[in-house]
Each structure stands twice: as C-alpha cells, then as structure tokens.
C-alpha cells in the first residue's frame, strides 16, 4: 500500500535530516502522499478524532495532575480547589472528565464502524486486535481515573471492580491485595491508581502508533469493502483526508464543548460529589455510562454453575459473572475468525446488516439495563440481552457466512463511485467475479 | 455540467478504458436500502421504548415519591447569571438557619466577594459569627486560637464528625459545599434525553427547594419512625432525620423580598448552587465564546472541504 516514497527533500536542511533520520520522509509518506480510498464516509473520520482525543486527554491530564493531591484525605478537596482557585482549572478539569466520556463515544462509533464494514477481515486482523488492546487499556485508564477524585462512586466503584480479581481461583485473594496495596481500598490504592493512570495513556499512545503503522501497511477499508486496486480508487491523504478529518474533529469538538460548558455533570454521577466514605455504601453502585453494558453482563450471571446431577459448584456466580464480563470483551479478539463471510461490507450483506443493527440496539439496551437496579423485570431482561450479546458473536456471525447470499459488489471502488455519478442501474456482475483475491497493493 | 457528464469527463481524464458497468449503487437501490434500514431502526426503537415503559412502570416503587418541582432559576440556560440579591439572601438563610448543623467546609470566607460584598463587609460578617480557628505553632511552639479571617475556610458547627453525629442522634448533617451537585434524583427515560436539548442541569437546586418546601403530615397508611420526618421529596426514603428547617417569617429580609418559606427555600437553594460551583456563569460565558468560535471555524472548514473535494467524485 505505502509503495515507494516520493519524498524529495527541497532544502539543505531537509536533505541533512533525510540522510540521517528521515523523519520528514516518514511524515510526508504517512500524512501527505498516503493514498486513501476516495469513497470514505464520515464514519471513517473517527480514527483521527480519537487521536485528537488522546492528545487532549494527555495534555489536560498533565496539567490537572499538577494540582491534584493523590492522598486519601486530600484528593477530594484538591479537585474542588483546582476547580475554584486554579486559573482555567474549572475548564481543564471538566474537559478531562467529560473528555473521557467523549473518548468512549468516539471509540464506540469507531468500533461499530469496524463491525459494520468488516474492517477486521484479512489482512487486517492484527490491526483489529491492536484496536481491542487499545480499548482495553482505555477502560483500565478510565476506571482508574474515575477513582482519583475520591468521591463515593470512585471509592465504591473501586471496591466493586477490584473485587473481581478476588474471584479468580487460587491466586485471586493475593492478586486482590496486590492491586489494592492492602486489604481494603485505601490510600495505597489511590496512590497506585494515580501512578497507573498516568502511565497507561502513554502505553495507549505506543499501541496507537502500532495501530496506525498496521493501517499504513494494509491500507484503509472503505464502504464497499472492495480492496484498492488502482490509482483511480484513491486520493492522497493531504489535502483530501486532512481537510475532511479536520472538519469532523471540529464538529465533534462542538458537541463535546456543549457538554463541557453547559452540561458538565450530565454524564457523571451525583454521588461522586460526596467525599468517599468507607462506612456508607451508596444505594446503587453504578459505573460510568461507558462500562454499563459490561456491568449488566457481570450481573446477568447470578447463579452457580454446577456439575450436572451433583451438588458440586463448578463456577460460583461471582466467578461466572466476572468470566462473562471479561469474556464479553475478550470475544472481540476473535471476531476476525468468528465472521466466516468473504464479504466485508454490510452494505452487501442483507442479513448481517439486520443483525448488526440488532446488535447495536441490544448493546445500548444492555447499557440501560446496567444502570437499573438488579431487581424485578430487569433481571430476566438483563439475562436475555446478555445472551443475545454472546449469541451474536458465537452463533450468528459464523452462521451468516455460510447461509447468507451476499449482494453483488462493485468491481472496484472507482466503479462504485462513478456508478453513483451516473445514477443508473446496470447489469449486475456475478458476485464471484468481484470476490477477487485480496490484493495488497 | 450535469453529474453524469462530470462523471464521464472524470473517467476520461482518469484514463478509464474499460466498459463501464455500474453495479448496485444505483439511486433506486440506495433508496431502497435506506428505507429498509430506517424501517428496521423504527422497529428496534419502538421495541426498546415499550420495554422501557414496562420497566419504568414496574420500577416506580423507588424514591423520591414525588419528582422535584422545577423552579425558574436565574442561572439556568446558556446565559445563566447569578441573582446577587438572591445569593445574599441565601447566605442569610444559610447563616441563620442551616449553619447551626451544616458545614460549608470547601468555601473560603474570601469567596463571599463573589456575592458583591466588600472585604470589610465580609470581615464584619466573620466577626459577627465569632468563629475562631486554630493556628500555629507560634514562636513558643504552641498552637493558639485566633479569629477567623478572609483566607480561612468556612468554620463548621462541629469540631469533627463524631461530635456532629453525637449532637444529631447519629445522623451526621451533610456538608453543604457540594450539596446542590450531590443530589440529583433520576430523571427517568425519556426525560433524560430531552434534558440534553433543554440544557436542564438544575436537578440539585430543584431537589433542595422541593425538599425544604415539601414537609407535610404523613398519609395515614404510612408509618414514620420516631425521630424521622415525612417528606415525599426525600431521595432516600419516605422520611428523613432533619425536621422542617424553615418556616414563614423566620428570617427577616431587608430588601423587601417576601419573607416566606417558598422564598427562603429558593434563595438558599440558589446560594447552595453558587457554593457548589461559584464559576458557573463564567463557565457558560466561556462556553458560548468557544462554541461560536468553533462554529465559525467549522463553517470555514466545511467550505474549504467542499472546494477541495469539488470535481473529485467520492
């Protein structure tokens, strides 16, 4: 995809660097001449948006860390003092907190876009897996960051989430104590979470570099799912993608700023404005909204799994819930192999398209269930919704590949684009003819 | 030039030399696909809505019994500002009624300049309170008491939580610094979605106002434990430990505002909103500037993008 570098240094200074450390060449090849499919739609701008979000979180985070006190008796007030007495502290702190939510909004759109257009299929399995690793690291980072203000939800959220590790047989208890730095969530926990919260974003940055590197090896997918075949299929990154991404970023920023400046507490939880109190458990402990679907999966397993016809508990409900929750994330790693269809884009997969939207609706619903108390009608609904989550990956994805009859695809990206221009329907080629072997141009 | 002609011209320019056969991307096909997916979305949406309605009907046993009453606050909306007179009256209500039990520990006395007071006025206010703080050690290595000053935090009624609990039958009166943000009864579906567009963020002060004005005799079928007080607006049960704290004509106002429970409750709720976020109007003002800037920037980028992509079919 990357092809031969067309960079020629124009100045002496440029030549000096090019002979020693060709960093300008790298930037030129990656962000100027890099070919992108001409038919990318707005959903393909979220990679760039996520990059900006990561940088914005790191910058605001570094600044507010200068004013934050990672000590159990002072952490809560230090955040408030920062909001009140530090120049721009209010904006920076809110930006960081709301920014975390918008980071997840962007990443969810990015992931669902990948699922819709089959972006995980060969040769992009590694690209997808690196993405899932980034997502996992984001979750760890966000969770630890949420603990730092040391409010009631911070504290009790930390209590609940760290207790997952104690469910692991044999080593669970020890692992739990190492994680907490003691027998209960306390100052030691806060200190190590602060340290890790500062470390993980830089690990994310490292993997983002690998993610982008892989992308530049395989090239981007596009809404047709047909690989780039000729120069007519592509346009150079600059100015085409640059201007499009810039526009999308600013629009995304407008939505985010609306929340930062007008609804700063909308996405948070009121209980986190109460200082952490180890003696007072909140009525409902709920995680941040972006974890709610997984929280629902955790609570869906409220039964012990026994060896049939005996009283021997194989997996107790606690371990079962934890396994289901981590399984819900881990299953994403296997998506490239669970999907057996040759066709990438859901545009040409009439059945998958329906199931995709069902999956999206189910995921949103699962999130809503995660915010409900575990009682009454919510329990069976949570179980049904959790079942569907796994059923989609384990049964529907593989089965559709075998049963579904895909629609005919265009022979090339250029074909589909100019077909649209003409606006007339032509003779459809048999799908076999278009399912050309994946070309790594 | 028509779209078709432009497409043909481009194909020629781009050196396309094979027979052109458009496939599925015809306008009709696309329309049909959009129709199908929008139908599907409507279906999924209506299933979700009905499930949620069933659910919320069943979960209606939760508290508070009554939803908070909504007040028309001066600080609501995109251009919300404090009503300084109201905040000053709120401070009076806090000082004369609430502060006997509730601390305001995050605030500094100097913050009262936000309410339009001069430093001398605040010093007089502190002197009238007669609060002392422990300072030191002095040159002899001893801690000493001195009158509170501008840079000190609000001094609470109790020395520590144990004393607060002992004085109130075990129920510690919560600190009020962030009360207006720490109380937010669930708005429920679909209200919480509309709230995004109406910019509703006054859940906290609405709740405090409703609670303060909401005390009444318990209905006959409700048993209230000794020492608790029935209030259908209370978020965590049917009754709370705090007795009704405010009554008509309890506090004198010198600006001609009505000396009623309703007015007291509004004023102190607004004051607590200020206490929980003194920079609220600045935040909204900054937000307005930021969004206007971004909107203009987005407009410029949009037209640049249009220009860049013009004549490049995509």
The DSSP line for A46-109 is HHHHHHHHHHHHHHHHHHHHTT---STTTHHHHHHHHHHHSTTHHHHHHHHHHHHHHHHHHHHH
Nearest-Cα distance to chain B for A52, in Å, is 15
Q: Quick one: pLDDT at residue B43?
A: 54
Q: Clarify whether residues A12 and A136 are in a common domain.
A: no
* C-alpha–C-alpha distance, residues A57 and A204, integer Å: 12
Confirm if A247 and B305 have CB atoms less than 8 A apart: yes
pTM over 0.80: yes
The pLDDT tens digits for B250-280 are 999 999 999 999 999 999 999 999 999 999 9
Distance, CA of B207 to chain centre: 10
* Yes or no, beta carbons of B21 and A415 under 8 Å apart: yes
Please provide residue B145's backbone torsions phi and psi, each rounded to the nearest 5 degrees: -95, 140
Whether B71 shows a pLDDT value over 70: the answer reads: yes
* C-alpha–C-alpha distance, residues A413 and A408, integer Å: 13
* C-alpha–C-alpha distance, residues B111 and B275, integer Å: 9
Q: Quick one: pLDDT at residue A432?
A: 38
Q: Clarify whether residues A61 and A168 are in a common domain.
A: yes
Q: Clarify whether residues A113 and A5 are in a common domain.
A: no
Q: Clarify whether residues A404 and A435 are in a common domain.
A: yes
Tokens of A8: 């020629």
Tokens of A135: 């997502």
* Helix residue spans in A187-290 (DSSP H): 187-218, 242-262
Give A323 or B12, the one with higher predicted confidence: A323
Q: Clarify whether residues A318 and A436 are in a common domain.
A: yes
- Domains in chain A: how many in total? 2
CB-based burial, A366-400: b 16+ in 10 Å, e otherwise: bbbbbbbeeeeebbebbbebbebbeebbeebbeeb
Tokens of A220: 């981007």
Helix A172-180, helix A187-218: angle, nearest 10: 100
Q: Mean pLDDT, to the nearest integer, of A21-37?
A: 93
Helix (H, G, I), strand (E, B) or coil at B133: strand
Which of chain A's residues have a Cβ under 8 Å away from the Cβ of B194?
Answer: none
- Name the pLDDT band for B2 (thresholds 50, 70, 90): low
Q: Clarify whether residues A65 and A196 are in a common domain.
A: yes
Q: Clarify whether residues A39 and A107 are in a common domain.
A: yes
Q: Quick one: pLDDT at residue B62?
A: 74
For residue A353, the surrounding DSSP H or E stretch is helix A350-371
Query: How many other CB atoms are found less than 10 A from the CB of residue B208?
Result: 25
The pLDDT tens digits for B12-51 are 444 443 333 333 344 454 455 455 555 555 555 555 555 4
Nearest-Cα distance to chain A for B132, in Å, is 22
The pLDDT tens digits for B152-186 are 999 999 999 999 999 998 889 999 999 999 999 98
Q: Quick one: pLDDT at residue B221?
A: 86
Is A50 exposed, middle or buried, given 0-12, 13-18 or 19+ CB atoms closer than 10 A? buried
* C-alpha–C-alpha distance, residues A48 and A220, integer Å: 13
Q: Mean pLDDT, to the nearest integer, of A297-318?
A: 87
Rg (CA), chain B: 30
Q: Clarify whether residues A70 and A205 are in a common domain.
A: yes
- Name the pLDDT band for A437 (thresholds 50, 70, 90): very low
> Between A38, A91, A415, which is nearest B23 by CB?
A415
* Yes or no, beta carbons of A420 and B54 under 8 Å apart: no
Whether A49 shows a pLDDT value over 60: the answer reads: yes
* C-alpha–C-alpha distance, residues A253 and A275, integer Å: 31
Q: Quick one: pLDDT at residue B226?
A: 87
Q: Quick one: pLDDT at residue A312?
A: 83
Residue B54's closest chain A neighbor by CA?
A: A377
Range of the domain at A15: 1-33
Confirm if A341 and A398 have CB atoms less than 8 A apart: no
* C-alpha–C-alpha distance, residues A248 and A50, integer Å: 11
- Name the pLDDT band for A119 (thresholds 50, 70, 90): very high
Q: Does A216 touch chain B (CB under 8 A)?
A: no
Pairs across A and B, CB distance < 8 A = 207
Q: Does A357 touch chain B (CB under 8 A)?
A: yes
* C-alpha–C-alpha distance, residues B130 and B94, integer Å: 16
Q: Clarify whether residues A25 and A46 are in a common domain.
A: no
Q: Clarify whether residues A239 and A383 are in a common domain.
A: yes
Question: Considering only residues 283 to 322 of chain A, which have any Cβ-Cβ distance to chain B shorter than 8 Å?
Answer: 283
Average pLDDT, chain B: 85
DSSP state of A226: P
| Residue A166: CATH number of its domain | 1.20.810.10
Q: Mean pLDDT, to the nearest integer, of B55-77?
A: 78
Nearest-Cα distance to chain A for B249, in Å, is 32
Q: Clarify whether residues A195 and A310 are in a common domain.
A: yes
Q: Clarify whether residues A91 and A21 are in a common domain.
A: no
């Amino acid at each position: 995809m990357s092809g031969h570098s067309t960079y020629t240094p124009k100045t002496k200074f440029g030549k000096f660097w090019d002979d020693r450390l060709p960093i300008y060449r790298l930037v030129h090849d990656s962000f100027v001449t890099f070919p992108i499919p001409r038919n990318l739609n707005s959903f393909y701008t979220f990679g760039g948006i996520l990059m900006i979000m990561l940088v914005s979180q790191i910058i605001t985070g570094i600044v507010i860390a200068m004013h934050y006190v990672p000590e159990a008796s002072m952490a809560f007030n230090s955040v408030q003092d920062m909001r009140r007495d530090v120049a721009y502290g209010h904006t920076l702190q809110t930006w960081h907190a709301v920014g975390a939510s918008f980071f997840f909004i962007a990443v969810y759109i990015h992931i669902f876009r990948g699922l819709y257009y089959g972006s995980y299929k060969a040769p992009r399995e590694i690209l997808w897996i690196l993405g899932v690793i980034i997502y996992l690291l984001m979750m760890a980072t966000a969770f630890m960051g949420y603990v730092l203000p040391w409010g009631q939800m911070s504290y009790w959220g930390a209590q609940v989430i760290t207790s997952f590790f104690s469910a692991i047989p044999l080593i669970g208890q020890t692992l739990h104590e190492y994680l907490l730095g003691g027998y209960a969530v306390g100052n030691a926990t806060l200190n190590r979470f602060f340290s890790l919260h500062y470390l993980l974003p830089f690990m994310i940055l490292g993997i983002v570099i690998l993610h982008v590197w892989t992308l530049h090896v395989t090239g981007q997918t596009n809404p047709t799912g047909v690989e780039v075949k000729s120069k007519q299929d592509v346009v150079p990154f600059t100015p085409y993608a640059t201007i499009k991404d810039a526009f999308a970023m600013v629009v995304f920023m407008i939505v985010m700023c609306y929340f930062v400046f007008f609804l700063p507490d909308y996405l948070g939880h009121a209980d986190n404005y109460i200082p952490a109190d180890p003696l007072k458990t909140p009525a409902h402990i709920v995680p941040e909204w972006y974890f709610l679907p997984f929280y629902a999966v955790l609570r869906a397993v409220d039964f012990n799994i026994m060896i049939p016809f005996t009283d021997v508990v194989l997996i107790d409900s606690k371990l079962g819930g934890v396994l289901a929750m981590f399984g819900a994330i881990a299953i994403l790693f296997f998506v490239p192999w669970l999907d057996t269809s040759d066709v990438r884009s859901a545009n040409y997969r009439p059945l998958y398209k329906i199931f995709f939207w069902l999956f999206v609706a189910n995921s949103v619903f699962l999130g809503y269930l995660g915010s409900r108390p575990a009682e009454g009608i919510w329990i069976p609904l949570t179980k049904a919704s959790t079942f569907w989550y796994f059923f989609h990956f384990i049964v529907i994805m593989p089965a559709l590949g075998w049963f579904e009859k895909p629609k005919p695809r265009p022979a090339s990206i250029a074909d589909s684009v100019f077909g649209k221009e003409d606006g007339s329907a032509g003779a459809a080629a048999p799908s076999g003819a278009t399912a050309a072997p994946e070309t790594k141009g | 030039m028509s779209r078709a002609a432009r497409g043909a011209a481009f194909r020629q320019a781009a050196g396309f030399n094979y027979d052109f056969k458009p496939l599925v991307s015809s306008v009709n096909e696309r329309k049909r696909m959009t129709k199908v997916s929008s139908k599907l979305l409507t279906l999924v949406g209506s299933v979700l809505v009905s499930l949620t309605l069933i659910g919320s009907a069943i979960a209606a046993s939760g508290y508070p019994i009554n939803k908070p009453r909504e007040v028309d606050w001066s600080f609501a909306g995109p251009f919300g500002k404090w009503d300084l007179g109201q905040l000053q009256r709120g401070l009076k209500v806090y000082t004369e009624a609430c502060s006997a039990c509730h601390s305001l520990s995050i605030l500094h006395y100097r913050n009262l300049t936000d309410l339009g007071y001069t430093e001398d006025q605040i010093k007089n206010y502190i002197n009238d309170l007669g609060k002392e703080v422990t300072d030191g050690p002095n040159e002899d290595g001893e801690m000493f008491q001195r009158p509170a000053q501008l840079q000190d935090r609000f001094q609470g009624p109790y020395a520590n939580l144990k004393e607060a609990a002992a004085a109130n039958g075990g129920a510690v009166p919560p600190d009020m610094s962030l009360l207006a943000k720490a109380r937010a009864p669930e708005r429920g579906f679909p209200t919480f979605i509309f709230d995004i567009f109406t910019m509703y963020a006054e859940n906290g002060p609405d709740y405090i106002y409703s609670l303060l004005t909401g005390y009444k005799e318990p209905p006959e079928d409700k048993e209230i434990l000794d020492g608790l007080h029935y209030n259908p607006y209370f978020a965590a049960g049917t009754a709370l430990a705090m007795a009704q704290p405010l009554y008509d004509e309890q506090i004198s106002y010198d600006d001609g505002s009505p000396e009623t429970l309703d007015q007291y409750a509004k004023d102190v709720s607004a004051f607590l909103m200020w206490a929980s976020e003194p920079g609220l109007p600045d935040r909204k003002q900054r937000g307005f500037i930021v969004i206007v800037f971004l909107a203009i920037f987005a407009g410029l980028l949009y037209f640049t993008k249009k220009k860049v992509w013009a004549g490049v079919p995509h």
